Structure formats: structure tokens, C-alpha cells
Chain A
Amino acid sequence: MDRVTLSALLFLAAVPASFAPARAADQCALLTKTDAVKYLGAGASGGMHGEECVYTRGGSMLAVAALGGAHGLDIFSAFKGDKNAKAVPGLGFEAYFDDGTFVAMKNGRVLELDYGTGPQDAKNMNPKLLEIAKLALSRM
């Protein structure tokens, strides 16, 4: 093996490790369409919308995202520091609910979950939201 071949092989061995692309987060893996149909009803549809996965059916909506970094932490801290946000018991996770939105942290990432079947769900947490949160957290 001559020196040029050797140097080329060494270069190729070094390059791939440094340039592997990061994969985009697939938020719809947290809650699938099957889950959306279960909680919103038959005909629910949706997909990625901005940084969230959003499913809708009629006037009902289910949105989910696992957010990392400063952005996720900023959202979590905002709920934690908000006097209007209620701590959510029964999950084992530090979790909060306010104005129809639920947040919890697992593995350093923040789960943000919205579930609304009507205006009442913004005031008081829909009991199904806890079940949905457990499902999404199990996949984080």
C-alpha cells in the first residue's frame, strides 16, 4: 500500500463519523393516528405542524411534542413558575397543567400536550389527558 492510498483510507475513516446528519424529531411517534382516533373519534387526522404533531376532528384537537434544550426548559419553567398552573399528581413525574396544556419532563426533554374537546378542557384537565400523557411519556 503506497502512502497516498494509506492517507486516503485514513481520511475516509475519519470523515463519516464527523458528518452524520442529526435526525429530525418525529413528534407523531409519541401519539399515533390510532391513538388520535381513540381519543378524538373516528375520522381524526393530522401530522406535523411546526414543532408539534397535531391531530384534529371537528372542533377537537390533540397536539403533542417532546422539546429539548433551552426551548423545552423555557416552557417547563414557565409552567413551574406560573401561579395559575396546577401541579398534576398521580404520574410520578413533575407535571403541570394550565389553560388546556399539560407539561412534564422525562429524560431531560419536556412533553407538551394539548387535548381539547371543548372550552371546558381549557379550565379543568380532561381526565383522559392523564391517560394520554402516560402513553406519550412511555414513548419518550
Chain B
Amino acid sequence: MKRIALIVGIALASTAPVFAAGHTCSLLTKSEASRFLGTPIAFVTPESTDGTDDCRYSNASKSENVYVTVDRSADALQQMQMLGMAHTPSVSGIGAKAYFQAGTMFVQKGKIVATVAIYKGADSMNKMDPQLPTLARLLLGRL
């Protein structure tokens, strides 16, 4: 009986989370990223900045991308505090907190901070892409 309980427990542990650390690229499919960028995605590349789990979805020429970062560290929570203190424009209705700065949306869910960006050229960094809130909500739902 104990062995059956163990098997069931392990099975649940292995299937319940949609997202595991180190697998940011599993958060968003290539076709979803393509829809947000408005152009086909040719490359899906896991990256890391200072130990974060990042994923870049790029077009064929790598000139445009959807970029997603997930950070579970205390550093990320400090980052959210700093954005608040700096009076960064906040975005309501997304996660516990959400801010927009320089083409990127920073969103918090519990102790996880995700950043999402849609880069379609330098000018796209100055105003919020209308798809960005939808993308942020979709990702938060999978964290």
C-alpha cells in the first residue's frame, strides 16, 4: 500500500507543474510567440543572465524577438521594489505587481518575477506593444 502511495505521489509530482526551473522555453510555444511577434519564429534559444532562466524566440534574421525571463531569486523581488520606488509606470490587472519600462514588462506572481519583451525594432522599445499585457497574463498563468 505504501509503495502504491509512493508511486502516485511521484506521478503527481512529475505531472503537476507546467513549468520547471531551467525550462523557460516550455512556457510559450513557437506558434504562440510567432502570434505575439507577428512574424514566424525561426529560433527558440534558452539563455541566462546572472543565473536567470531566459528564452529568446527570434525571427529568421534574429532582428526581432519575444524575450522571456523567469527569476525566482530575492534579487528579482528587490528589482520589483526598485521599480516601484522609481515611480516606473505600473500596469494594473496583471499578477501581484506589473511595471513597464524600456519595452519590457516586469510582472510578479508570488515570489517569482517574470520579464517579457516584444522587440520589433529600436522604436518598439519606447511604447508598450499592445500584445505585451496579453503575453504577460498568458505566462503568469503557466507559472
Contact = CB atoms under 8 A, between A and B. Distances in A.
Given A69-B73, A108-B117, A24 B4 contact: no
B117 A92 contact: no
A59 to B, nearest CB: 30
A134 to B, nearest CB: 8
B104 A105 contact: yes
A111 B25 CA distance: 23
A23 interface: yes
A100 to B, nearest CB: 22
Interface residues of B, number: 49
Contacts of A4: 3
A67 interface: yes
Contacts of B65: 107
A58 interface: no
B82 A73 contact: yes
A42 interface: no
Interface string A92-131: 1110000000001111110000000000000000000000
Contacts of B102: 76, 93-94, 104-106
Contacts, number: 121
A12 to B, nearest CB: 9
Given A19-B22, A94-B102, A107-B104, A69 B50 contact: yes
A17 B122 contact: no
A109 B23 contact: no
Contact of B69 (A71, A81, A105, A108): A108
B63 interface: yes
A24 B48 CA distance: 6
B50 A13 contact: no
A107 B67 contact: yes
The 10 A-B pairs of least Cβ separation, nearest first, read A92-B122, A20-B22, A14-B14, A68-B49, A108-B115, A105-B102, A107-B67, A17-B20, A108-B104, A70-B79
Interface of B: 3-4, 6-7, 10-11, 13-14, 20-23, 46-54, 56, 63, 65, 67, 69, 71, 73, 75-76, 78-79, 82-83, 86, 101-104, 106, 115-117, 119, 121-123, 125-126
